[in-house]
Amino acid sequence: MQITDSAGRMSVLIRAVAAMGAAWNVFGVIQFWGQVSATPAMLMAKGITAAQANFYASPPGWMTIVFGIGVFGGLAGSFLLLAGRRLATTLFGMSLVGYIALYIGDITEGVFAAFGTPQIVILTIVVAIAVGLLMLSLHANRRGWLR
């Protein structure tokens, strides 16, 4: 499949990846909302321990902020990439910084220790996807496909 069409515009492939990025980030928004609205009782009803539920329901405020930056930056970046806008690159960069800060927070605040390998794997995938979306927007910008 071509990266550009005959007129030099982004191809269906790039737009499809941007749309998948938007869908991925919508899922992230749902996760974000679940975290900010969760109570320990709700979380324990889902099967996690009381200690994990208390930790998950009340993270440090800065971690909630950087999670939001990651999620909403990625979502807005995906829509802007679909629209062919250069601002997508800036927002993907902000999203990546947010997720890296969240990763550091998960290490330093004990989230990885409390939730184990699944949390490490999930957040590593999130960071990898953020890197991929940023790289895609940088490529599109270098090719002149963004305005």
Burial class for 40, CB neighbours closer than 10 Å (0-12, 13-18, 19+): middle
Q: Give the mean model confidence (pLDDT) for residues 61-71.
A: 98
Q: Can you give the pTM of this predicted structure?
A: 0.90
CA pair distance 53, 24, nearest whole angstrom: 25
More confident residue, 108 or 8: 108
Mind listing the pLDDT tens digit for each residue in 13-64? Answer: 889 999 999 999 999 999 999 999 999 999 999 999 998 898 888 899 999 9
